[in-house]
Amino acid sequence: MNRVLLLLSVLSIVSSIAVKHTIEAEGIRASFVEYGASITNLWVPDRNGTMTDVILGFEDAGTYSNNIWKPRYGPVVGRYANRIRNGTFTINKKTYHVPRNENGKDSLHGGTIGYDARNFILIKKTTTSVEFRLTDPDGFMGFPGTVKVSIKYTVRDGELHIEMRGNPDRDTPIMLSSHTYWNLDAFKNPATALITNHTLHLPRSTRRIGVDDILVPTGEIITNSDVVNNFTVPKQIGRDLYSAVDNCGKGCTGYDTAYIVDAGEGPVASLWSNYSGIRVDVRSNQPAFQVFTCTNMKDQIPLKSTQIDKYLGRKTVPKYGCVAMEVEGWIDAINHPEWPTESQIYNKTREYLLSASYHFQKI
């Protein structure tokens, strides 16, 4: 690694001025930090009108770049989200190698220093929007070409909108996502701190991507005919959660599953809680939707003060205490040219664009 890239890698893991930037509109308020262009807080009204912080995060802005847990709380992940088999891919007959930072066998979320561990620059802020930028240099983490990335968050009348753009100077794979963990009860449901009571609906996902024991795609496309993976009809996450054995890796119980989004209109997903009365409808231009039920949480990471009820005594995030919902492309599609999905290779004449909206309402 040359001196410029070494300096960039050092700067990418050092937070600048650690402050939260807050934007708001009618019925919604959100905060962000430069580190990972991360969303840190998201307040929406529950059925009683009480503003409720429905995503996981850290109390202090500085903790995002300096914590021992590394949970990827609310950042942008990239240059290539999710997994790449063997950390390799080929473009124009040349094979590239990126760090195999998961299990020593595959690349996860862009390698050892992905976008979640890079310090973005805040370039614009209004009362209702923030925009961050990052220049990802040629060769960093093994990816070819320089990519100029912009991330814009906007709030408006009970809705959060995310726009992610990537402009490379030559052929390179790009797949970004927002890696946000949700608990619509904000851990204040006396009956449970888990998301087992949350109802999930994936109306346009009749199929999923088949994976091996370490969640790397095998190339198989599976129809969701089994009860465990069928969310085309709304059901509580807890109904089949404990039957979802091997869904999140060999011997793992829970969901870490990439559902394919069929063409059509309307939300790609809806999530709601009858306790808080909060519902979120997710719309996206992306062809896949990853569901992860926080199987890695071990009652170690502290809750934010906005999510602590002194009478319940909960202080940390338990296993199954949250769910990640990632809008993204078909995972590892760069190694599966036989798949009927759009190419994930972008260049000077082809811009990467992710658009997603999260619309909140009371039920």
Q: What is the pLDDT of residues 196-235, one digit of tens each?
A: 999 999 999 999 999 999 999 999 999 999 999 999 999 9
Tokens representing 4 are: 């410029």
Q: Is the confidence at residue 122, as pLDDT, over 70?
A: yes
> Please, which pLDDT band fits residue 18 given cuts at 50, 70 and 90?
confident
CB-CB contact of 73 with 40 (8 Å): yes
CATH of the domain at 112: 2.70.98.10
Domain that holds residue 18: 3-362
Taking residues 66-91, report their average pLDDT. Answer: 97
| Of residues 173, 210, 189, the one with CA closest to residue 79 | 173
Tens digits of residue pLDDT in 226-238: 999 999 999 999 9
| Of residues 333, 224, 245, 339, the one with CA closest to residue 293 | 245
Strands (E), 115-274: 121-125, 129-136, 147-156, 159-168, 172-173, 177-178, 181-182, 199-201, 207-211, 217-223, 235-236, 256-260, 269-273
> Please, which pLDDT band fits residue 2 given cuts at 50, 70 and 90?
low
Which residue carries 């590239």 as its tokens?
A: 96
What is the pTM assigned to this prediction?
Answer: 0.94
- Taking only Cα atoms into account, the Rg of the chain, rounded to an integer number of angstroms, comes to 19
Please give the pLDDT value at position 209. Answer: 98
Please give the pLDDT value at position 100. Answer: 98
Q: Any idea what the Cα angle at residue 86 is, between residues 169 and 262, rounded to 5°?
A: 70
d(CA 23, CA 268): 26
**Domains in the chain: how many in total?**
1
Kindly list the catalytic residues. Answer: 179, 326
